[in-house]
Amino acid sequence: MHVLILGGTTEARRLAQALTAGHPGWRVTSSLAGRVARPLLPEGEVRTGGFGGADGLARALRELQVDALIDATHPFAGTISFHAAQAAATAHVPLLALRRPGWVPVQDDDWHHVNSLEEAARRLPTLGRRAFLTAGRLGLSAFAGVDDVFCVVRSVDAPEPPLPPRSQVLLARGPFTLEGERAVLREYRIDVLVTKDSGGEATAPKLVAAREARIPVLVVRRPEVPAGVTVVGSVAEAVEWAGSPGISSLSGD
């Protein structure tokens, strides 16, 4: 049984560990996009870099004799998810999408949902003057024209220009603590938070800190999973899917 996992997320690493430990005879390969300079490596085999679109991924599925494909990429890695759906259909390989549940607002949250980073940039000046941008380094160009808001940009790796004209970069990798997020809001006098609905626990403390400080939050909605793809919300469900008779029997396991 050969399982190919797409993604360098926390869930992808946990899944690789669970499959490797639970099925010693299986071959588990994780594919990382290569966008982070020093990624945390999962157990099992690891490859880095793209496949060359849906056709390239379909070719790789055949050449690597992949029996099951699991898309455990970031909820906002929309392009690779659609390529995975197309490639799996072409190569006749079962596909599962592992997506951590999105965040849900609670009492006292002041959330403002938008559909894109561009829309968030347009709305930003109406909500505050000192923003904490935690939406990743690859989409910062959307804020390049926001010149009336000071932006504190947090990123794992140093972002490339264009950046917001008035900005300061904080290099940090999660998980983040609640006390740490409180300190950032205090030190930089943040009055608005910008985030993608990434879900998960590693970066959720910033939402609690914003709630406590009664700071508005611009939340970018996540893209839809391609139509027809089975979706689960936990590593345990993904492990169960991979080991189900309908999947594992394809490899003669």
Give residue-wise pLDDT tens across range 66-75: 999 999 998 9
Residues 182 and 240 in one domain: no
Using the predicted structure, report yes or no on whether residue 152 has a pLDDT greater than 70: yes
Average pLDDT over residues 202-231: 94
Q: What is the pLDDT of residues 111-144, one digit of tens each?
A: 999 999 999 999 999 999 999 999 988 889 999 9
What single DSSP character describes residue 166? S
Residues 65 and 152 in one domain: no
Residues 168 and 246 in one domain: no
Domain range spanning residue 141?
A: 111-220
> Is residue 14 a part of any domain in this protein?
yes
Using the predicted structure, report yes or no on whether residue 102 has a pLDDT greater than 50: yes
Sign of CA dihedral 138, 219, 122, 128: negative
**How many domains in the chain?**
2
Q: Exposed, middle or buried: residue 252 (CB in 10 Å: 0-12, 13-18, 19+)? A: exposed
> Is residue 192 a part of any domain in this protein?
yes
Q: What is the pLDDT of residues 15-46, one digit of tens each?
A: 999 999 999 999 999 999 876 667 778 888 99
Residues 209 and 162 in one domain: yes
Residues 85 and 158 in one domain: no
Residues 142 and 209 in one domain: yes
SS3 content of the chain, % helix, strand, coil (to 5): 35, 20, 45
pTM higher than 0.75 for the full model? yes
> Is residue 96 a part of any domain in this protein?
yes
Q: Exposed, middle or buried: residue 66 (CB in 10 Å: 0-12, 13-18, 19+)? A: buried
**Residue predicted with more confidence, 59 or 245:** 59
> Is residue 157 a part of any domain in this protein?
yes
Residues 165 and 199 in one domain: yes
* Per-residue pLDDT, 250: 59
Residues 22 and 46 in one domain: yes
Sign of CA dihedral 218, 136, 125, 210: positive
> Is residue 106 a part of any domain in this protein?
no
Average pLDDT over residues 81-102: 96
For the chain, the average pLDDT equals: 93
State the CATH number of the domain containing residue 20: 3.40.50.720
Residues 151 and 237 in one domain: no
Residues 75 and 173 in one domain: no
Portion of the chain with pLDDT greater than 90, in percent: 78
CA 111 – CA 106 distance, rounded (Å) = 10
Residues 216 and 127 in one domain: yes
Residues 143 and 96 in one domain: no
Using the predicted structure, report yes or no on whether residue 99 has a pLDDT greater than 80: yes
Q: What is the pLDDT of residues 185-206, one digit of tens each?
A: 999 999 999 999 999 888 899 9
> Is residue 69 a part of any domain in this protein?
yes
